[in-house]
């Protein structure tokens, strides 16, 4: 995949990893659309803002219609809120709230852009997932559930889109140095590096990206008797 021949659409591109993806794709010569809720306020040279709220089906459909030349979609939009764990009485409501962005939003965007990608030769979809899929953290119970659902959908989507030559790439990543993790005193990856490494992997034909050492360790140990999901984390 030569990026100077690609047209990239990034959801949640106003900041953090989404903005890093948009910049990295632009710097490689791609045409880039930034899916943002406040498109009028977006000011980034060489990147085209497109109004998008992944929680709104009509907004997603309008974005797909506005960008008929897209060849690569990055499903980055996501949100997180802390919970009190598996017995939190508000866990169901919180999970539903996060699901609307982290899972249903990803589904809406994938379904809206799949026909666009097919018309443009197949292309690829990158779904931003999390290492929290693979281990239990009490205060991330709701968030982890949404990312587990997104991983499951990613695996099904990959099978469903092979017939149209659309590759589906799962990006698994731990904490990054973004607003989302500002208050966490843990090792964090540079989102610019994660975006760059992921685009390298997409160009090489990968279907899974493990963005940091911690994520690679978790992934490697899933089948072992001391797997992290049996012990919990943090």
Instruction: Report the distance separating Cα 8 and Cα 33, nearest Å.
Output: 6
143 is catalytic: yes
List, in sequence order, every residue forming a beta bridge with 31; answer none if it has no partner. 7
Cβ atoms 189, 211 nearer than 8 A: yes
> Catalytic pick from 9, 42, 103, 143?
143
Which single residue is written with the structure tokens 């100077």? 4
How far apart are the C-alpha atoms of 148 and 153, rounded to whole Å? 9
CA 168 to chain centre: 11
Phi, psi of 192 (to 5 degrees): -65, -40
Residue 85's CB: how many other CB atoms inside 10 A? 14
Measured in whole angstroms, how far is the alpha carbon of residue 56 from the centre of its chain? 17
Residues with active-site annotation = 143
């Amino acid at each position: 995949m030569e990026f100077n021949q690609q047209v990239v659409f990034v959801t949640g591109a106003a900041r953090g990893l989404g903005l890093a993806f948009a910049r990295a794709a632009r710097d490689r010569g791609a045409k880039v659309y930034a899916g943002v809720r406040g498109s009028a306020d977006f000011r980034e040279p060489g990147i085209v803002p497109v109004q998008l709220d992944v929680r709104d089906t009509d907004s997603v459909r309008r974005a797909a219609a506005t960008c008929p030349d897209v060849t690569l979609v990055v499903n980055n939009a996501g949100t997180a809120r802390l919970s009190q764990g598996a017995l939190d009485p508000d866990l169901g409501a919180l999970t539903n709230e996060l699901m609307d962005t982290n899972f249903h939003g990803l589904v809406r965007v994938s379904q809206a852009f799949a026909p666009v990608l097919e018309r443009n030769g197949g292309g690829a979809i990158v779904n931003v997932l999390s290492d929290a899929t693979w281990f239990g953290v009490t205060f991330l119970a709701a968030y982890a559930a949404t990312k587990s659902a997104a991983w499951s959908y990613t695996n099904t989507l990959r099978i469903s889109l092979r017939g149209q030559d659309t590759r589906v790439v799962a990006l698994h990543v731990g904490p990054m140095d973004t607003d989302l993790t500002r208050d966490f005193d843990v090792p964090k990856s540079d989102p610019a590096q994660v975006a760059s490494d992921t685009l390298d992997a997409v160009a090489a034909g990968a279907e899974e990206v493990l963005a940091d050492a911690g994520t690679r360790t978790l992934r490697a140990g899933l089948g072992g008797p001391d797997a992290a999901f049996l012990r919990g984390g943090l």
